[in-house]
Structures are given as structure tokens and as C-alpha cells.
Structure 1
Amino acid sequence: MDPNRLEFAVKQHENTLYRAALAILADVQEAEDAVQDAFIAYLEKAPDFDGPEHEKAWLIRVTVNGCKSRLRAPWRRRTAPLLETYPAATREEGETLEAVLALPPRERAAVHLFYYEGYRTAEIAAMTGEAEGTVRARLSRARKKLKHLLEDETP
């Protein structure tokens, strides 16, 4: 593997992977570890890609799967996130971020990939290994929950 290939991949995709991992895990350190694990897998497996989008999709899939594994860990059920670690530019953004973080991890992941990363439901389904209808259902449930949460916070 070309040593510059990993460096280029990190520069190109680390922010995207970090944001996706943070949306799923809701923990800064866990998200950083998940991204690091994805790049280690990239280095170890040295996969061949059809193009830059295929590389990005592969890295996101590895990151999402790693996040799912972390969420299944028994010790994770005994911790609580500190919301101070999620800065937002405005009060409204902070309220929205808190509402998104209140969603279950699978809905949070779907919302992040759809709204923040701009993927279509078919692409999200491919990345998460779920049916496209499942992704649409998760997004629909998440929208309803977010609407309810955000309406309750409005003065």
C-alpha cells in the first residue's frame, strides 16, 4: 500500500467519519476511537476501490459497523454522556442537537447520514446493512420524535 494513500484518505474522510460516529455514539472519545479503528482496518485490509465514492462508502460502513459493536458493549449501558461536549453556535442549534442526541442510536445514525451527510435512503441502507424501507421508517419515526421534542422545548 502506498503510504500516502492512508494519509490522503484520513485528510479526505476523517471529518465525515467522525461526525457519523459522534451522531451514533454521542460520545467524543468513543467516536474518535471508532474512526481510528476504521482507518486501522483500511490500513490492514488495503482494499481496492472503484473510485473515491466507493472508498468513502466503505469507510463509512466500517465506521457504522464499529459503532454498532461499541453500542452493544455491556459497559456502555452504565455511562451517561456529558452534553457540554457538544458545542453549538446558537441556542436553537444546541436544542436541535440535544433532541437528535436523545434519539435511539439507529435513528440518530439515519438522521445524521440523511440530513448531515446528504445520503439517499438506498445509500444509507447499503451502508448500514438494513432494508431501504427500514431506513425510511427510522427516518419517519425520528422526524416525529424530533418534532415532538422540539415543540416541547419551544417557549
Structure 2
Amino acid sequence: MQQPMTRPGHPVMKSYEQYADMLYRIALVHLGSRQDAEEATQDTFIKLMEKAPVFKDDEHQKAWLIRVITNHCKNLLGRGWRKREVKLEGVEPVTADNPEELAVLQLVLALPVKYKTVIHLYYYEDYAVQEISRILQISESAVKMRLQRGRQLLRLELEGAEAE
């Protein structure tokens, strides 16, 4: 991923170094395409430069960036052109360390957006329910319900795969 054109020590550069990989992973989970995830990550840092918000601390900034990239991905997914998009052969697939992890990751990517977002933040980014609630601006009970339903969908898919 290309780094933004700023001087070393610039606040955006520090943020980029700190959060780019995490934001890219979040976008990849939402969008399923390396190119789209890179573009969404870039757009998020552009928004950071344009808005130049003042943050209380690093956690506040991290939550803001996650919220921005999540909303941006939702907007991209909601656009009509994306629904009519033709998938190209030979696009680099999502990878994992072993076949089992890859199978689970592919199932997570296939979940509806509201479930895969909380599943990703909880299991892959190690956020607590309270933090996810604050970041996504939904109630803690909604986060718990989405985690429960997402797990249930994953369990059904895994059991179906084992039966085959």
C-alpha cells in the first residue's frame, strides 16, 4: 500500500503508520477486494487530512478512523454500480495461514455486513463489546445480538460443510 504524500513526523503520517494495516483489514472484510480496500483506506486518510478533527487521545482517533472506514465501505456497497460489478478472474484471493483459517475467513466475508463488521472487530481486532458499541454507535445489546447471530450463521455454514 502506498504511503500518503506528507513529510515525516506529520500527524497524518503517524496515524497512517499506526492504523493503516488495521483499517485495510476492516475494509477488506467489508469489500472483499484488495484494490477496493486500498482505495477505502486511502479515502479514510484523505478525510482525516480534510477534516483535521481534534482527538482526545489515540483511542478516540482510532475509533473515529474505524467509524469513517466502516461508513465509507457501507456507502460503497450500497452503490448500484457495485451490485452490477463483474468479478474478474485471477484477482488475488484473501489468504490465511492454514486451510481451516482460510475457510472460516471466507465464511466471515460471506456474512451480511452488519454481522461481519462486529465479528471482525471482536475476533480479529480484539475489541470489547463496549468499544464496538461506541465505534459503531449502536447499543451493547445490538452488538451482542449481532455477534450471536453471526456466530450462529457461521456455525450453520461450518456444520453444513462438515456434512458434505
- State TM-score, norm by structure 1: 0.90
Q: Which residue of 2 aligns with 1:126?
A: 134
**Pairwise CA distance, 1:103:** 0.5
Q: Which residue of 1 aligns with 2:23?
A: 17
Which whole-Å deviations, capped at 9, do the CAs of 1:84-114 have from their partners, x for residues lacking one? 5101221111111111111111111110001
Q: Which residue of 2 aligns with 1:117?
A: 125
Q: Which runs of at least 4 in structure 1 moved beyond 4 Å after TM superposition?
A: 80-84
Q: Aligned residue pairs: how many?
A: 154
Amino acid at match of 1:107: Y
Which whole-Å deviations, capped at 9, do the CAs of 1:61-87 have from their partners, x for residues lacking one? 111111111111011112366785101
- Answer yes or no: is the 8 Å Cα contact 1:24–1:106 preserved in 2: no
Question: Within 5 Å, which residues of 2 pair with 1:32-111?
Answer: 32-79=38-85, 84-111=92-119
**Unaligned 5+ runs, structure 1:** none
Q: Secondary structure at the match of 2:127?
A: coil
**Pairwise CA distance, 1:32:** 1.1
Q: Secondary structure at the match of 1:85?
A: coil
CA distance in 1, matches of 2:86, 2:63: 30
Matched, 1:148 2:156: yes
CA distance in 1, matches of 2:47, 2:103: 35
- State, as a whole percentage, how many aligned pairs show the same letter: 41
Amino acid at match of 2:135: M
**Unaligned 5+ runs, structure 2:** 1-5
Higher share of residues assigned helix: 1
Which whole-Å deviations, capped at 9, do the CAs of 1:25-56 have from their partners, x for residues lacking one? 22222111111111001101111111111111
